[in-house]
Amino acid sequence: MDHVDREKEAAHDPMAPRGPPSGTWLQKPIVQVTYSLTPTHVLMALLSLTFAALFAYLSLLSKPAPTTALDNGVGKLPFMGYNTWNAYVCDINETVVRESAELLVSLGLKDIGYEYMNIDDCYAEKNRTEDGDIIESAERFPSGMRNTTDYIHDLGLKAGIYSDSGWFTCQLYPGSFQNEDRHVFFCADIELFRETWNFDLLKYDNCAIPFDEIIREGVVGKYKRMADAIAAQAASSGQEPILFSLCEWGREQPWLWAKRFGQSWRTTDDIGAHWDAISSIINQNSFYTWSTDFYGHGDMDIVNAIFAIGNGDLTYEEAKSHFTAWALMKSPLLIVWLQLSAITEESLNILTNTEIIAINQDSVVGTAITPFRWGRNPDWTNDYTYPAQYWSGESENGTVIMLLNVESEPADMFFTLAESPWIRAGRQYSVRDLWTHTDNGTAVRNLTVSAVPAHGVVALLLRDAGDEPAGLDPKCSIMEWCTDQNGTVLEGGV
């Protein structure tokens, strides 16, 4: 149902807001009321205004400050890189890490922004030392963890490490609870990660949560412990803070608070290499992409499905949709699934789309795309199978449009340009296709893309190309309350 059809349907709804009939002159009766003021009235009014102003001031003081992103000098843009988890799980070692880092360079991925080589769970010994320190596995990292990070840095990359906010990691290796900062009997984990081992990023998980009587704080407080430790370590050492990537799977609405503590936060459960998982995560994030901006990014989980092409349940078009949605919603882009040595040409074509990556890494505009129309469903519908289809956002070089075909067969997709809040009425726009890398003429008022593949995506960059042609009819591209200068509401305008 298009916009006009929805308006007609609303006109028959007794609960719909009412407007003046089409083609009528709007007039209001003039009502004259006379008041007589005395000095007593004036004094009482002044006192009332004074008390009201004082109450409002005190109320403002009592309200918490709005959540703003932590700008501590790192993580302004979403981070990009490779993670060991899905490809290797616990079967990691220094050889695997070195070879993966080398492939980031030789495949050209480093040069377009994939700069983090992240080591996930299972790198440590099962128990801390007698002094309370985490130590790397002697079997998996016989040369020592610092030797590994030095190698990564020598390649021009950055290094990421993993820990947990609970007693243990999700694979039951030592977690960091009560070891975040330096204590009397324990070495601070943050000092180990940042100073001794020289990691640049910390992924922080949410397993093995302590009993309530021990922790006596919620998830927010548990993550604040490490955030405080990171700030203290940076201040005492003079080092740049470690980039803090929170992972609590969206359990406690991290989009409301996590940007106070770190640079990214997981918004959902773990991803899967199938379309239902992709559509579910897109659906969930459609309701809180507003929280993403510079220094704070909703993390939609790893870009793992890219490597499921021919090795899982995703088609090439679905993998393109996955990568496009993640990139344009400004999620971190962390490659995971198969070993980099097994990467296909199809996967590389997706991962190296520099026009899509340029939106993700826009240094002028940090906000994400958001839906302007759901399409198949009424707007604001929560549907894990059929998420929003029509999205837009700002960028340094124009308005970004994402059209997502959620149907299981090809479909034509149509929208009115001014449905997007970032499009100016009365203007025409040049159209750049970010996947075909072609300039496709000029759009005036409306745009139709034919035969979008099943579960496929179209990504466009619209640039202002001047005033639209004169004399277009109807006079408004969106007819709701389209009104002549003389007050006449045009037919179809209500």
Mean pLDDT for the stretch of residues 215-235:
95
Note the pLDDT of residue 94: 98
At residue 124, what is the residue type? Answer: A
The DSSP-derived string for 396-430 is TTEEEEEEE--SSS-EEEEEEGGGSTTS-TTEEEE
Residue 251 pLDDT greater than 90, yes or no: yes
Mean pLDDT for the stretch of residues 450-473:
97
Cα–Cα dist 309/322, whole Å: 12
Q: Which residues are catalytic?
A: 205, 270
Residues 6+ apart with CB under 8 A from 277: 271, 305
Mean pLDDT for the stretch of residues 171-194:
86
pLDDT tens, 96-124?
999 999 999 999 999 999 999 999 999 99
Is residue 433 in a domain? yes
Cα–Cα dist 222/387, whole Å: 33
Report residue 467 as tokens. Answer: 């005033």
Mean pLDDT for the stretch of residues 411-427:
98
Mean pLDDT for the stretch of residues 438-447:
98
Cα–Cα dist 3/22, whole Å: 17
Where does a domain end: 331, 360, 389?
360
The DSSP-derived string for 97-142 is HHHHHHHHHHTTTGGGT--EEE--S--B-SS--TTS---B-TTT-T
Top-confidence residue, 439 or 59? 439
Note the pLDDT of residue 54: 42
For residue 98, the enclosing domain spans: 80-360
Note the pLDDT of residue 57: 38
Top-confidence residue, 166 or 47? 166
Residue 457 and residue 493 in contact, taking contact as beta carbons nearer than 8 Å: no
Note the pLDDT of residue 273: 85
Bridge-based pairing of strands 158-164 and 116-118 is parallel
Note the pLDDT of residue 65: 46
Bridge-based pairing of strands 201-205 and 158-164 is parallel
Note the pLDDT of residue 183: 57
Note the pLDDT of residue 190: 97
Mean pLDDT for the stretch of residues 450-468:
98
pTM: 0.85
What CATH number did the domain enclosing 223 receive?
3.20.20.70
Mean pLDDT for the stretch of residues 364-379:
98
Residue 218 and residue 258 in contact, taking contact as beta carbons nearer than 8 Å: no
Mean pLDDT for the stretch of residues 386-404:
98
Residue 299 pLDDT greater than 90, yes or no: yes
What CATH number did the domain enclosing 442 receive?
2.60.40.1180
Residue 259 and residue 291 in contact, taking contact as beta carbons nearer than 8 Å: yes
Statement to judge: residues 330 and 378 lie in one domain: no
Statement to judge: residues 137 and 185 lie in one domain: yes
Residue 203 pLDDT greater than 80, yes or no: yes
Is residue 24 in a domain? no
Statement to judge: residues 354 and 375 lie in one domain: no
Statement to judge: residues 398 and 451 lie in one domain: yes
Note the pLDDT of residue 35: 31
Residue 414 main-chain phi, psi, to 5 deg: -125, 140
Report residue 231 as tokens. Answer: 């700030």
pLDDT tens, 72-96?
999 999 999 999 998 899 999 999 9
